[in-house]
Structure 1
Amino acid sequence: MDRRAFLADTVGVAVGAGLPAHPRPLTPVGAPGAVGTAHLLELRAGLHSLFQLDDAYGGYDVRSLAVRHLRRVRRIVSTRTYPDTIGRQLQLLAGEAAEHCGWLFYDADDQDSARLYWGQALTSATVLKDPNLDVLVFSSMSLQACHEGRPREGLELARAAQERAIRLSSPTLRSIIAAREARALSLMNDGRAAGRRLSEAMRLVDSSSTGRGRPAPEWAAFHGHAELDYAQGMLYTELGRHDSAVQFLRAALAHQDRTYGRNRALYRLTLANSLVRSGAVDEGAAHAVESLEHLGEVESGRVTRKLHEVTDLLRRYDADTARRAVEELSEYARAKGAA
């Protein structure tokens, strides 16, 4: 069975994410009767498994599963009976699922669809007056704005998220958003302010390890020192200080948990880019080729874009290692496009 067929199998979602089976069968959510806590937990477990699949494989293939899960939640909200307390949780889950659909389309580099789902999620956050969902949507939209060359808007969105996150008293959440503020500031060529926000992000993540403040939400599990090393590397890249960027990008790759397959692929290609730009063409080419071993497991528009960027960069060099790397990278891209 190929990976697409595996991901399309609803049983494969739980298996692929390494989730245990539920200890006892639940009443099907399409069966008569009121929706209860057990059904809500089942639907939330489905969203959790989608988080894990995205972390491992990227958003390209997972997004169709997420859209179907969102439809399922919305159908239950619209057609089933439940107490008000369960109803609010179902509506919140629908908003979170819509936000995750937005993230997956963003990662697949379908930005118009990402905007559509994030708009739906923001509507849910507004109606429910839920600050956690507000923070999640604004911080995601900040990344998209930076990705599309609108860093000033990205900074405003990150600051809106930070304003709400402060009220939630979660150091990890505030650290994530401070790093996104830093990204926007670096793209605005304000390296000094970006550095200050990254320092604050590091202080906050260290504070979270002491148990201070509220625990981070589930979606924030990816954040830690590896993510901040990567953010620091990206800051130096934007400033043209590629030697300094390499140091932090190496650390990010070394410390990133192997369950985050998409991020590891992105980190390695970003490191290859910075190595080449710093003059270490042979080592950069080697990292780019080494990434191919893992790219067969990852479908991510952001990773594919980075692969093309590194390939185009290596074409500028006459070194044998660069030429061989370009041949291998180009052959991989052709084979993937024909698949």
Structure 2
Amino acid sequence: MDRRAFLSDTIGVAAGVSLPAHVRPLSPTGKSGSVGTAHLLELREGLRSLFQLDDAYGGGDVRSLATRHLRRIRRVINTGKYPETIGRQLQLLAGETAEHVAWLHYDADDQTAASAHWGEALTAATMLRDANLEILVFSGMSLQASHQGRARDGLDLARAARSRAAELGSPVLESITAAREARALSLMGDGSAANKALASAMHLVDRNGKGRPSPEWTAFHGHAELDYAQGLLYTELGHHHAATQFLRAALAHQDQNLGRNRALYRLTLARSLVEAGQVDEGAAHAVESIEHLEEVESGRVTRRLHEVSDLLRDADAATARQAAEELTEYAYARGAA
């Protein structure tokens, strides 16, 4: 299905019952105008549907829908009547939604907006003393710091998240935060410590199902994600042949529903293949990625697309130059040049 048509339908369909959860009108409040559990569940289902859209299509277009959903939750908080127990859950949901809005802006490469929303989410986590939300926020901020060249900040944030995850006793949460730690360490050039952190992440993910159940937002994390992290680690260390092995495995085992990640993984594999001297295969993967890119709107993916195009353009092979031309034409056609 075409991504833009899908998102247009998501916003534009008039029949409320057929709308996705994040754009349906809320059920009427009680006689006293009170907000109850049913409304809370509807708002949470809205956030869940936004997670699914992000996984499939990336953060570019979805962030506007998520921002509107956050406004809806804020309106309910500020205008509704509800008991204290419902109020706390609404505040937590607002924090979780602000965090997801931050993530979507991060994925779209709008880092200023991402930082502002992560700040809002961290305020909610601190106010509510909710460790899970703190872990989620610190993990996201760690990725952003590493992405922006602030690897030391990324390491500190990852370790703060890992400390809280250990207190909760959730192996999957600990695995995610260990992988964030490994990413920052690799960017700092500490390959030994990065490998140790990533080995710990792999050990922890194998303990899934033991200890405290992991939150729903961790569903993306598994062996494919860690293979990708290992591939990035080897890339940072300059071991491109080793990187391709793990990136192949990551792409092969990635969930078909995670369209944005599949596009990112394929382009990253193409980049490593070219850097490893396997230019023809890298060019083939790069061109093959165009089909996936048609469905995705992600600043991170677009940035990787340009990296691969530049590498292919500089390679001394006819197939590489032809692939670079195809990628450049595609980028211009969609306004991503």
Task: Answer whether TM exceeds 0.5 for this pair.
Answer: yes
Kindly indicate whether the alpha-carbon contact (under 8 Å) linking 1:171 and 1:213 is maintained by their aligned counterparts in 2. Answer: yes
**CA distance change for structure 1 residues 84 and 61 in 2, over 3 Å: closer, same or farther?**
same
What is the distance in 2 between the residues matched to 1:276 and 1:77? 52
Displacement over 6 Å in runs of 4+: 10-17
Matched, 1:146 2:146: yes
What is the distance in 1 between the residues matched to 2:58 and 2:302? 11
**CA distance change for structure 1 residues 236 and 29 in 2, over 3 Å: closer, same or farther?**
farther
Deviations 1:1-57 (A, max 9, x none): 83442343477999797x8xx9xx973359862111111000000000000000000
What is the distance in 2 between the residues matched to 1:16 and 1:215? 31
Kindly indicate whether the alpha-carbon contact (under 8 Å) linking 2:105 and 2:114 is maintained by their aligned counterparts in 1. Answer: yes
| Paired residues, number | 333
Secondary structure at 2:314's aligned position in 1? coil
1:253 equivalent among 251, 254, 266: 251
* 1:164 alignment counterpart: 164
* 2:281 alignment counterpart: 283
**CA distance change for structure 1 residues 122 and 26 in 2, over 3 Å: closer, same or farther?**
closer
Structure 2: 5+ residue stretches without partners: none
* 2:136 alignment counterpart: 136
* 1:52 alignment counterpart: 52
**CA distance change for structure 1 residues 148 and 262 in 2, over 3 Å: closer, same or farther?**
same
**CA distance change for structure 1 residues 16 and 193 in 2, over 3 Å: closer, same or farther?**
farther
* 2:210 alignment counterpart: 212
* 1:227 alignment counterpart: 225
**What letter corresponds to residue 281 of structure 1 in structure 2?**
V
Kindly indicate whether the alpha-carbon contact (under 8 Å) linking 1:7 and 1:62 is maintained by their aligned counterparts in 2. Answer: no
Secondary structure at 2:189's aligned position in 1? coil
**What letter corresponds to residue 174 of structure 2 in structure 1?**
R
Secondary structure at 2:192's aligned position in 1? helix
Kindly indicate whether the alpha-carbon contact (under 8 Å) linking 1:13 and 1:53 is maintained by their aligned counterparts in 2. Answer: no
**CA distance change for structure 1 residues 143 and 29 in 2, over 3 Å: closer, same or farther?**
farther
TM-score, structure 1 normalization: 0.94
1:2 equivalent among 2, 5, 10: 5
**CA distance change for structure 1 residues 315 and 31 in 2, over 3 Å: closer, same or farther?**
farther
Kindly indicate whether the alpha-carbon contact (under 8 Å) linking 1:282 and 1:321 is maintained by their aligned counterparts in 2. Answer: yes
Once the two structures are aligned, what percentage of the paired residues are identical? 69
1:304 equivalent among 292, 302, 320: 302
**CA distance change for structure 1 residues 143 and 193 in 2, over 3 Å: closer, same or farther?**
same
Secondary structure at 1:315's aligned position in 2? helix
What's the RMSD between the two structures over aligned residues?
Answer: 2.3
What is the distance in 1 between the residues matched to 2:71 and 2:13? 14
Deviations 1:240-285 (A, max 9, x none): 0000000000000000000000000000000000000000000000
What is the distance in 1 between the residues matched to 2:226 and 2:27? 43
Kindly indicate whether the alpha-carbon contact (under 8 Å) linking 1:16 and 1:53 is maintained by their aligned counterparts in 2. Answer: no
Structure 1: 5+ residue stretches without partners: none
* 1:112 alignment counterpart: 112
Matched, 1:78 2:81: no
* 1:179 alignment counterpart: 179
Secondary structure at 2:334's aligned position in 1? helix
* 1:263 alignment counterpart: 261
Secondary structure at 1:197's aligned position in 2? helix
Aligned-pair distance for 1:319? 1.1
Deviations 1:155-211 (A, max 9, x none): 000001111111111100000000000000000000000000011001100011xx2
* 2:33 alignment counterpart: 33
Aligned-pair distance for 1:324? 1.1
What is the distance in 1 between the residues matched to 2:233 and 2:79? 49
Kindly indicate whether the alpha-carbon contact (under 8 Å) linking 1:29 and 1:76 is maintained by their aligned counterparts in 2. Answer: no
What is the distance in 1 between the residues matched to 2:31 and 2:320? 60
